[in-house]
Amino acid sequence: MAPEKDLKEILGKLQYSDDAKVIQQITEQMKQVQARMTGIRYKLVVMSGKGGVGKSMTTVNLALALARLGNKVGVLDVDLNGPCVPRMLGMHGLSLTMTSQGATPPFGPLGVKVASMDFFLSAASPVRWKGPMDLSPVWLGVMEMNVIREFLADTAWGELDYLLADLPPGAAADKPPVIAGFIPDLAGAIVVTTPSEVASDVVQKSVTYARDMGIKVLGMVENMSQYRCPACGVESELFEGNTDALCEALNIPLLGRIPFDRTLARTFDKGEPLLDPAYPTIKRYQEIAERVVALVDYRKVLAQKL
Partner 1 sequence: MKFVCLNCETYMSFEKVEKPAEGSLGVFFGCPSCGAKFSMVTNPGETQMVSSLGVKLGGRTEAAEPFEMTRETLKDEALAGSGQMAAYLNEKIHGGQPVAATGAPGSGKEGEKSGGGCPFSAMVAEMGLTTGGKAASGITGASEFTWSVDAKEKLDRLPAFVKPMVQSSVEAYARKQGYKTITLQVMDDSKNDSSSGLTWSREAEQRLENIPDFIRPMARKEIERIAKERGVATITAQVMDEAKDKFMKLM
Residues 173-202 that bind partner 1 (CB under 8 A): 194-201
Q: What is the dihedral of CA 214, 202, 245, 251, to 10 degrees?
A: 0
For position 299 contacting partner 1 by CB under 8 A, the verdict is yes
Phi, psi of 239, rounded to the nearest 5 degrees = -130, 175
Nearest approach in angstroms of CB 18 to partner 1 is 9
Alpha carbon 45 to its chain's center: 4
For partner 1, the closer of residues 29 and 281 by Cβ is 29
Contact assessment for residue 74 and residue 162, using Cβ atoms and an 8 Å cutoff: yes
Nearest approach in angstroms of CB 60 to partner 1 is 11
For partner 1, the closer of residues 16 and 278 by Cβ is 16
Contact segment (CB under 8 A) with partner 1 among 37-45, 64-72, 178-186, 257-265 equals: 257-265
Round to whole Å and give the CA distance between 37 and 119: 21
Tell which positions 73-102 bind partner 1, by CB under 8 A: 79, 81-84, 87, 96, 98-99, 102
Contact segment (CB under 8 A) with partner 1 among 37-45, 130-138, 171-179, 274-282 equals: 130-138
Contact assessment for residue 55 and residue 166, using Cβ atoms and an 8 Å cutoff: yes
Q: Which of 8, 123, 251, 278 binds partner 1 (CB under 8 A)?
A: 251
For position 169 contacting partner 1 by CB under 8 A, the verdict is yes
For position 25 contacting partner 1 by CB under 8 A, the verdict is yes
Round to whole Å and give the CA distance between 4 and 221: 67
Round to whole Å and give the CA distance between 278 and 301: 27
For position 213 contacting partner 1 by CB under 8 A, the verdict is no
Q: In 141-247, which ranges are E strands?
A: 160-166, 186-193, 217-228, 235-236
Size of the site for partner 1 (CB under 8 A): 104
For partner 1, the closer of residues 71 and 243 by Cβ is 243
Here's the x/- map for partner 1, 107-126, by CB under 8 A: it reads as: -------------xx---xx
Contact segment (CB under 8 A) with partner 1 among 52-60, 69-77, 157-165, 173-181 equals: 52-60
Nearest approach in angstroms of CB 63 to partner 1 is 16
Tell which positions 53-72 bind partner 1, by CB under 8 A: 53-54, 56-57
For partner 1, the closer of residues 17 and 38 by Cβ is 17
Closest by Cα among 184, 150, 185, 181 to 167: 181
Nearest approach in angstroms of CB 21 to partner 1 is 3
Cross-strand partners of 99:
102
For position 5 contacting partner 1 by CB under 8 A, the verdict is yes
